[in-house]
DNA sequence: TTATTTATTCGTCAACTGACGACAAACGAA
DNA sequence: TTCGTTTGTCGTCAGTTGACGAATAAATAA
């Protein structure tokens, strides 16, 4: 098998493998899953650490779509539609079992694998959501960016936690993903003015 | 050192140790942290598995206070006060770094370590919250228990996810825990009627 | 003091684990 | 064919790792 093809195959299998077995999964088992000898892995990746890093970069950091930021700010659509569309897609394409497990394993193992890059993206997301909803509602937002972000976490955290319940704890499966998204988005929008008022007045 | 005292000490150290290093942490390192030989561990726990099980039972399953259910249903207090008090305590005493890390490591490793018992407790919690708020507001709730629980998850998930951000991802640290709890509780209560209406009407 | 139990350690086994040197097989170009 | 490059495997090394038999030290009872 040609170099690049094999390498891609290993990365694919490794992603699945480490997501399921944790970052401590053994290279011999991984090789077996790839249908190759353990030794061959080391032709493509100098160390296990390098393989893990590449899996992480490809799967975790590559999961955010720039188009989301554009679509979230498309004011020709009502915010309810934008948020609904975004979180459906986000839940389907990013908050998957594979992504979540890798992300959690990495976060638990290394104190600062997740934060840096992710934090920046998510922060921007949170601020965008707040800005857009506030604009649509003609609401004045408080200054404190930390408070602002915490407000957006009301929605983002609820949906993220739903994904964790679903994929890590394996519960909360009786409603469909779309139903849950719609509910959380509606609840967030319905309580938005109250939330801003409550948070501003302290 | 007497048997029971030593055993208790090992359990304490082991809880901290496995929370930080994952369930795959090595018995030799654990023994060193206890200040004893590795061999001695095996006088108290037949296998590492048994030690892990005991840590899990003591630390994870024992973290829920029965009194919470009583206090949440104390209708002499307004719901805002009850929820605020409950979630402050819950965040402080259960959703700690130690508890969360152990819980996540266990959930990732074993498909059904968390669910069974925890799920039952949390479900009851969610239903209690919904029932009490609905009673205070004089609101009629929809029938579907899954939908009902998902509504309560709006609050419970947001706070749980805040704890994960704080203790696992190590972000969202600029606001105090109490501030965040108060905010989420207020937002939940402010949007409650809207939420129920929105969820009932589908 | 002596006997007996209890607490604790030493040393080791067998299986595992990441890493790698050496060698074989396949393949294509000259 | 021939030769070099690429793809691949075998076997092994050094360091781990859970587990445990046997010996030792300390405490307690007689």
Rounded to whole angstroms, how far apart are CA atoms A11 and A16? Answer: 9
Distances (CA, A) of A123 to A127, B8, B160, B172, B201: 6, 43, 18, 10, 33
Question: What value does the mean pLDDT take over residues A8-37?
Answer: 97
The one-digit pLDDT tens for each residue of chain B (202 residues) are 788 999 999 999 999 999 999 999 999 999 999 999 999 999 999 999 999 999 999 999 889 999 999 999 999 999 999 999 999 999 999 999 999 999 999 999 987 666 677 888 999 999 999 999 999 999 999 999 989 999 999 999 999 999 999 999 888 788 899 989 999 998 899 889 988 988 887 5
Looking at the fold, whether B23 and B110 belong to one and the same domain comes out as no
Instruction: Please give the pLDDT value at position B100.
Output: 96
Looking at the fold, whether A94 and A126 belong to one and the same domain comes out as yes
- Residue A38 neighbours by CB under 8 Å, 6+ apart: A27, A28, A31
**Mean per-residue pLDDT of chain A:** 93
- pLDDT exceeds 60 at position A192: yes
- Closest-CA distance, A184 to chain B, in angstroms, reads 7
Comparing A26-40, A180-194, B128-142, which segment has the lowest mean pLDDT?
A: A180-194
**Protein residue minimizing CA–C1' distance to D26:** B1
Chain D bases near protein CB atoms (7 A cut-off): 6-11, 16-22
Q: Is the CB of B199 inside 8 Å of chain A's CB atoms?
A: yes
Question: What value does the mean pLDDT take over residues A136-148?
Answer: 94
Rounded to whole angstroms, how far apart are CA atoms A31 and A36? Answer: 5
- pLDDT exceeds 60 at position A186: yes
- Closest-CA distance, B34 to chain A, in angstroms, reads 22
A70 pLDDT tier (thresholds 50, 70, 90): very high
Looking at the fold, whether B55 and B66 belong to one and the same domain comes out as no
Domain end marker among A22, A37, A59 = A59
Instruction: Please give the pLDDT value at position A202.
Output: 54
Rounded to whole angstroms, how far apart are CA atoms B167 and B89? Answer: 16
Looking at the fold, whether B98 and B170 belong to one and the same domain comes out as yes
Which nucleotide is the nearest neighbour of A34, by CA and C1'?
D8
Looking at the fold, whether B47 and B79 belong to one and the same domain comes out as no
Question: What value does the mean pLDDT take over residues A3-18?
Answer: 96
Instruction: Please give the pLDDT value at position A195.
Output: 86
**Within 13 Å and on the Cβ side, how many CA atoms surround B51?**
28
Q: State the pTM of this model.
A: 0.93
Looking at the fold, whether A184 and A90 belong to one and the same domain comes out as yes
Looking at the fold, whether A78 and A55 belong to one and the same domain comes out as no
Interchain contact, B169 vs A107, CB within 8 Å = yes
Q: Which of residues 77-106 of B touch A (CB under 8 A)?
A: 101, 104-105
pLDDT tens-digit series, residues A85-105 = 999 999 999 999 999 999 999
Q: What percent of chain A has pLDDT over 90?
A: 81
Looking at the fold, whether A123 and A195 belong to one and the same domain comes out as yes
Task: Estimate in Å the CA B1 to C1' C5 gap, whole number.
Answer: 15
Looking at the fold, whether B30 and B99 belong to one and the same domain comes out as no
- pLDDT exceeds 70 at position A114: no
Range of the domain at B14: 3-59
Comparing CA positions, the residue from B11, B97, B103, B21 lying closest to residue B61 is B103
Interchain contact, A108 vs B22, CB within 8 Å = yes
Looking at the fold, whether B67 and B115 belong to one and the same domain comes out as yes
Looking at the fold, whether A28 and A45 belong to one and the same domain comes out as yes
Number of domains in chain B: 2
Q: What is the CA radius of gyration of chain A?
A: 20
Instruction: Please give the pLDDT value at position B11.
Output: 97
Domain end marker among A13, A29, A59 = A59
Question: What value does the mean pLDDT take over residues A186-200?
Answer: 88
Instruction: Please give the pLDDT value at position B92.
Output: 96
């Amino acid at each position: 098998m040609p170099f690049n093809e094999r390498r891609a195959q290993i990365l694919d299998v490794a992603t699945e493998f480490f997501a399921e077995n944790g970052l401590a999964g053994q290279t011999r088992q991984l090789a077996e899953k790839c249908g190759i000898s353990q030794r061959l892995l080391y032709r493509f990746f100098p160390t296990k650490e390098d393989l893990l890093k590449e899996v992480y970069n490809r799967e975790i950091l590559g999961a955010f779509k720039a188009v989301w930021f554009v679509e979230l700010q498309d004011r020709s659509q009502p915010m309810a539609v934008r948020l609904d569309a975004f979180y459906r897609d986000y839940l389907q394409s990013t908050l998957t079992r594979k992504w979540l497990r890798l992300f959690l394993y990495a976060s638990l193992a290394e104190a600062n694998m997740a934060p840096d890059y992710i934090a920046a993206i998510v922060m921007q997301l949170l601020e965008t959501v707040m800005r857009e909803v506030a604009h649509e509602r003609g609401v004045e937002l408080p200054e404190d960016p930390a408070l602002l972000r915490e407000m957006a976490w009301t929605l983002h955290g609820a949906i993220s936690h739903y994904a964790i319940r679903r994929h890590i704890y394996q519960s909360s499966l009786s409603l469909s993903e779309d139903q849950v998204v719609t509910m959380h988005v509606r609840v967030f929008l319905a309580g938005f003015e109250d939330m801003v008022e409550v948070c501003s007045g302290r």
